[in-house]
Structure 1
Amino acid sequence: MGIAFRKYHGLGNDFILIDHRQQVELQVSPQQAIELCDRNFGIGADGVILALPGQGEADYAMRILNSDGSEPEMCGNGIRCLAQFLADLETQDGQSPELPHTYQIHTLGGIMRPQLRPDGQVRVDMGEPRLLAQDIPTTLATADDKVVAQPLTVAGQDWAVTCVNMGNPHCITFVDDVEPIPLADLGPQFEHHPAFPQRSNTEFVQVVRPDYLKMRVWERGAGATLACGTGACALLVAAVLNGKADRAATVELPGGCLQIEWGQDNRVYMTGPATLVFSGETAA
């Protein structure tokens, strides 16, 4: 028997969503995730997301497997897609949620709170950024210090990097123009740099205006993607720490724009779309 699924995307960052609300244990192996995400021989996606029963105060739990079979702690675009998937499942079950509706989702990066809005957008309380080196984690500073505009040598070039953990690790560097960045060459070297013991997502950021930033991203375990929600949140925090941006800004990604705000409550809020592409069932 095949696996029933729905495919969603958030600004082109695409995911295979599977209903596991009746099963606590993962029924998809890392190898199966690799096969499902294959864009030539499988469904094609940046990752597989499983909707699991809630734990404690959470309504549901989220687990995600990247296209290389690795498991990240969280995914910003993915959790927006999960929220829409859950609403679609509940509607199918005859329990359509009244909008706006907020879910509490348990992830390996903590509790996340996506809110489905009447305008079709999903706003997510992404929690507080973690800034200490031990929380990234990285060896670029002592454990209880922040990593802001620290030098890092990659591909024979010195980069000034700022590190932020938004449920998963991010390394942000500011450039004059993101377009000519050789992402396929530089991305893996940043991701696997010895300074990041758990690897790292990498964002190359161009400041157009204090309220408008452009980024290209290399995601840990997925490679170059059209969007990264946690990365957009991390780069805004990094831009504020470096005096380059306002606390609320539009972040332009290759797949479209997200609205990001680092609130006075120290929590980061992300607003963007989640779109159903198609549904189906894999071959047995």
Structure 2
Amino acid sequence: MAIDFHASSNQYTYAKRVAHAGWGDFICQRVDPAGKAIADICCGCGIYSAVWAGLGARQVTGVDFSAQMLHDAQETVQGLTNVAFVQGDAAATGLADASQDIVFARALIHHFASPHPFLLEAWRILSPGGLLLIQDRTPEDVFLPGSPEHMRGWFFDLFPQLAAYERERRPASGAIEAALTATGFELRPTTTLWETRREYADSAALAADLRRRTWRSILHELSDEALAQLIAYILARLPAGQPIVENDRWTLWWALKPNVAGTTATEPAPAQ
């Protein structure tokens, strides 16, 4: 059964984790967040909102449709004065026109049949010259072979039905680039990132994390019994007695709203 992001029973499913420092280093090599107004769309529990704030953003606004997620997000950013949260839809954030220097969307677009409503909203709230940064997984990212560093590949070895589920929802990189261009954005080179999800002291810590399905919506497609099988399958393939570093590969699309007064976004052409 797919995860219900609104359910209190899923409290902290997307909170009990911190972003690895390498993610912030990667971002700062490509863009300077200092003094910027940043919208974190589909912010979940505010993990990346907190990172943007720590990178020197003037103001970070996290937007999410789930009141439960935003409740958890307040705990994540406790003590940070440059972060606020609003409940809204990715295609209707409620933020002011041209109010953001950077719009960031991590693990969002694979939830949509079409990215265009979100892209139009990102265009609306971005100031001229502003940056849209989308981070998500393509099929090429997801279907890398399973290994101790890329455990997600083992999910599909044991449960092929999960591969079909992933293949259906993961966007092709070229399709996202085409949608950005069609909307009016100016593309910058697309990049990939091996992001450290989490480091575990031992296999017991990993098993507990998998059992909670932490930051893994795909595991909500498995019953508790099937999940127990998967955990056993993974643990049998890990080196014994060693720390475990879990990584995921992501694709990042970078696009600018042209710095020209009066430019407008383009609606997608109707299907023929």
TM-score range, shorter chain: under 0.3
- Higher share in strand: 1
- Normalised by the length of structure 2, the TM-score is 0.26
- Higher share in helix: 2
